[in-house]
Amino acid sequence: MVAVIGVAVIVWGVAVATFTTIRVEWKALRRRRSTREKILLRQQLGSSLLLGLEFLIAADVIRTVIQPSLEEVAVLGGIVAIRTVISYFLHREMAEDWGALSQEQIEEQRT
């Protein structure tokens, strides 16, 4: 059940990001500035992915606690390690986007 919630969060995030991307690109075609909206879109999608990954990790932990075996624990360790690396780099990229967004806002205030 927890894994289903994780997948649902990711699917919902992708669906929302898809519709938002269409709207942002439509604005870009009409020559409106959309850099800020693209960064916010990436933040929203990244947050959904991170939250979904957390639910999936929780599901794996619960499954291993219910059915403990050496093989299950080894598989869980590998899955958690891979998902942790993915989460780390996704979080780092999101932080860079926030920095770029903050810098853009500072530049807009100066002009």
Continuous segment of H or E residues that includes residue 77:
helix 70-110
Question: Considering only 10-14, 59-63, 68-72, 103-107, which range has the smallest mean pLDDT?
Answer: 103-107
Cα gap 89→101, rounded to integer Å:
18
As a whole number, the mean pLDDT across the chain is: 84
Q: Is the dihedral of CA 18, 25, 36, 96 positive or negative?
A: positive
Among all chains, which residue has been given the structure tokens 């360790």? 77
Query: What is the model's pTM?
Result: 0.70
